[in-house]
Structure 1
């Protein structure tokens, strides 16, 4: 029995899709086994460059130490950018998967290997349709997202030149595979880091009256910091102050001279963001003074909030619905993302793709479902094409 040309074409397309899906998973596992920290992604950069070159995708020469920017499509017309990130975290993997990290103490615990594979897949699909594109698709394989510096590096190198709209993704382990979400306006939070140095007077632990106890002072400060949000920020606003590290002392029978606290502040409202460090300074100074110690705040401003362009957030949701994802309007997140820096220069949207991991982001057992990779690649290929059509019509 013979088959029709249409059936043969369909079967060929399905075979090609299956082959690409297997390749994307293989690339993801290769990256997962060899993770590299922020601004150290030299081998990762070489691999991505090699894979893009093999597909005939042109690489832009921007003088980057790590990271890759590539482009598909004609030299004329609008430009749409797709961004994936490539760095890993200083975490010892305990997932037990057969392709676990071979780099001690380093792991792709945030799924940047997942993101990279998705954008690689979109690149290959777009390359196959290059002659039909009414503009260019620029592909960002960005370093140093975890250090919140990679986006600024690419912007400084000129990666955003002539870009009309930009889209990026993060896998969402709390969402099932096949689920998509985003929202217009503030999506991810402003991210800031703080350190507090508490200085007392060291003494023998048997004679605390002869010193000023920095550990007791630091403990009171940790408790008092919980009032910064609960008693200074409206319950209708989102804000978090978390102390994540406390370090002081080096033996069991001595009161240490000093203690260091470290933590993070997350906000959506820029006015509240500015007010919180002022309030922290007053709180820690008052507590320390009451106990005879001193406290000094060191503030480190991080990336701003990810504020999606409403037009492109709605556009990406509609495209996801047409693609076949189960779509939902996302809740505002308290996590941070340096994708925010791109949105300060060009319009666009950041989106979430369900990855169904039993363990969350930055967990040593994080393990996203790889079946989500190829559909996400197809989605981003279609999103880029739809965005180019939209921009061409405008």
Structure 2
């Protein structure tokens, strides 16, 4: 495995160089008083570092590269932001680097200053051919490290989803009802078809559907028609009825249906086909459909589960998996796991964001409590972490694992994770 800058950043930030007796390449004595603050924006890697170079105190920025020539490759020589760099720390010093005014930048050569054991341990993590880098070693990590890492990841996931929801709120001009409507329908796609469901929600505003909530056939016609599933000729009377209703409603509201080709059916069980999901959604939106006020006022998990259980689904779907396509009798209403999925990704996110927006921590805490009361999600990712030895008892835990996998493990950003850092440090001590 080729060395990467992440490791150099980690060594610099935590002062893990193997010697305190440091010299720049020009022979000047170097003392690191403060390595600076990691910079996550444009500009040098560490800001406001305090260094003593050749007896002179310097306060400024530090840039770190594998090779000194990376400075030129990244065109820092043309960017005045980098004139504030007081030290260039590199693994290989293969080029002389100057500021835009021509003055040379002191260089620290890190190649022989890296702790070898930590480097080997880090390489072992990145080269591991497991589902996630530390799958074989995670048992060496202390329970408190795992617990704290999982807690942080779960909070980050909620905060990230809350930030994404804020963008949707902005597009909807802070209409909470419409935003909840769109988020709920989007999540009916259960990842595979969430984008088509999102487009479906955008074409059928909450206020429009509310006018027809006591007329099940019209709700079904609007949803199936807008989804593009009522095009063509049908043999069965039910889809023909829907066609008639939708033709009238489409003209009345000047609707433009989606292209049915955007929906995904491949490698799915019939129970998960989008037409059946739409039938379930229609059942949920008929009559007393869940509103944001109901969600925010829910006192317990069972109330939420009852709220999201469809009151009815058209009996046509008892023995059909698509229009004009019969099948054996099957369960119509979404199961407990599907409803919990909606609560995890719709209710808890909406509740957390509401508390964050209005500065009411009680709502944020309630969202966390609901996550901790629901069982852990079951999917390929959570199963892999459980197989490695992690104990996932709740949706709070599974959400943490999904966050870790997506933003640390999948990208092999082990040094962004306390578990990864702990494993590397453990080996360094041994």
Question: Which bracket does the TM-score occupy, shorter chain normalised?
Answer: under 0.3
Higher helix share: 2
Compute the TM-score of the two structures, normalised by the length of structure 1. 0.27
Give the number of the structure whose alpha-carbon radius of gyration is greater: 2
Return the structure number with greater relative CO, CA threshold 8 A, min gap 6: 1
Higher strand share: 1
